[in-house]
Copies of this chain bind each other. A is one copy, B any other.
Amino acid sequence: MSADENAKKWLVEFDAALQSKDIDKAVGMFHAESYWRDLVSFTWNLKTAEGQAQIRDMLQATLEKTRPSHWLLEGNATETDGITEAWFTFETLVSRGKGLLRLRDGKAWTLLTTMVELKGFEEAKGESRPKGVEHGSYKGRKTWKESRDDEAQTLGYTKQPYVVIVGGGQAGIILGARLRKLGVPAIIIEKNARAGDSWRNRYKSLCLHDPVWYDHLPYMPFPDDWPVFAPKDKLGDWLETYTKVMELNYWNSTSCKKASYNETRREWEVTVEREGREVTLRPKELVIALGVSGYPNVPTIEGADSFEGDQFHSSKFPGAENYRGKKAVVLGSNNSAHDICAALWEEDVDVTMIQRSSTHIAPSESLMELALGGLYSEQALKSGIDHHKADLIFASVPYKIMHGFHIPVYEEMKKRDADLYSRLEQAGFMLDFGVDGSGLFMKYLRRGSGYYIDVGASELVADGRVKLKSGVNIVKINSKSVVLSDGTELEADLIIYATGYGSMNQWLADLISPEVADKLGKVWGLGSDTPKDPGPWEGELRNMWKPTQVPHLWVQGGNLHQNRHYSQFMGLQLKARYEGLETPVYELAAAHHES
């Protein structure tokens, strides 16, 4: 049988099994080791069922209400190394979906099902785009501008938004755009003066470490000449532009003071300060989009108060220009530490990096070619994989086995960049590739730290232009120096703490309450039982883009790719609730690891 025939046969049989509610039959169409990842369509949750037993449980709980049908092959199936890969579309009672299937010997190995749109609540685009003008003549017609101005004046005051998004960085903006397109009234609260300031306010040399093909926002891709690695100010301007084009209700220069859920009124009370005046917003759903980390981590070091130079957390580093000819110590060895060391070196600052523990170094070129190139690159585009398709392929790999896909990439990187790695080690740099050698992206998913995407600073470290002290920590700070755990004393005019961030629950504890923060539990991480990602295994990122143990509280965040893709599902989940559809959540994840 051809790949198409294989795939069609499976889809037809699966459709029939589900239509006749023959769960045994359906489960039998999967391998013993198999994965069904569902994004909202069946579960109103993000959920990976691992193995036949979990698939059975999922179907038993969801089939009756989902009523799936119309499983149809889309385009042509392909076969590589005995795996048939097939795109398909399907429907449920209330939605249309798209999926990706991988078959081995006629049985499913991985199945991805994703919700694309809710029937009757489709986004207006293409043929169904708004007309813009109502042809004919009508008394009392409102122009586009009048309607926009009217909405800006009333929403949040005389009319309540359905959703309030706390945080107007990329996460809040992107989700805001999804909600706007879906017709869900929303307000985004942002403390900075302009959309994009969360990027603009970082150190001046910062550029994105992910390439353009990975970073597109929904609905409005970057132009064809957008740089591979966008400079932070250019990205900031784009976000501001995007916010305007998408017609978001974006409350800039507004601080969020307090939020609490009013059980009687079944709505949140969110107190914000806008234009010098306190406003209480009463949304039904509250989304936290403050980034997945919390307050800056600044270690408590003896004598820090006595330091006569400047000291900043990396997030507050104003730039290297003022330190020309001075001596700097950077504590930390991840992305920000490397970027800041390089920026300081470029301004003729004498700089020493203090590496406390091993770090994964992934050279940008290698990362682009080996890890991302197949999905997010000009080559991928030429082979028909745009970012929409790439996002689904990416999502189709179950987290449980994802490391297996990544290990060979980093094996290759070790060979390819052997020279750099060897020189770094000779310079005393402590390298790792993750506990299981699965490299950067798994570290990102598991713990969100522990790596540097090398865009040049590793050379500085390797050849000593950036000095390195590794396997040590700062134990004491004097007025003009720092003392390391090996007894070394380094003169310093500037100390940078590139020491990461605390948990997002810190924000929540302050904004809502410690109890609610604890009830929510840990945000991010898979439960892989690797460093900084304690178990139990969850199979999805904890609390991200899905219902949480705190009713009506949601978390949006991640990198641009994740925000782009998962905002689709956040949007649909919120839209369904806004329209009063039934949204039975399958296996709401338990909370783990109180803040």
Q: Which residues of A contact B (CB under 8 A)?
A: 123-127, 129-133, 135-141, 143-146, 181, 204-205, 207-208, 212, 219-220, 223-231, 233-234, 237-238, 241, 244-245, 342, 345-348, 364-365, 378, 381, 455-457, 459-460, 465
Contacts and interface: CB of A to CB of B under 8 A. Distances in A.
A205 B455 contact: no
B231 A135 contact: no
A317 to B, nearest CB: 14
Given A224-B126, A225-B181, A204 B135 contact: no
A223 B224 contact: no
A228 B342 contact: no
A506 to B, nearest CB: 32
**Chain A: interface secondary structure?**
loop
Nearest to A347: B139
Contacts of A130: 225, 227-228
Contacts of A460: 137
A226 B143 contact: no
A228 B378 CA distance: 31
A233 B143 contact: yes
Given A342-B137, A457-B137, A131 B227 contact: yes
Contacts of A144: 227, 231, 233-234
Given A129-B226, A132-B229, 17 more contacts: A130-B227, A131-B227, A133-B207, A135-B364, A135-B455, A135-B456, A136-B456, A137-B457, A137-B460, A137-B465, A141-B205, A143-B204, A143-B231, A145-B234, A237-B244, A241-B241, A241-B244
Q: Which residue among A131, A381, A459 has the maximum number of chain B CB atoms within 10 Å of its CB?
A: A131
A364 B346 CA distance: 60
A129 B346 contact: no
Contacts of A181: 225
A123 B231 contact: no
Contact of A212 (B129, B207, B219, B230): B129
Contacts of A378: 126-127
Closest 3 pairs (CB-CB, A-B): A132-B227, A144-B231, A133-B207
A133 B457 contact: no
Contacts of A139: 346-348
Nearest to A238: B245
A143 B205 contact: yes
B342 A145 contact: no
Contacts of A135: 364-365, 455-456
Nearest to A177: B223
Contacts of A238: 245
A242 to B, nearest CB: 9
Contacts of A132: 207-208, 212, 227-231, 234
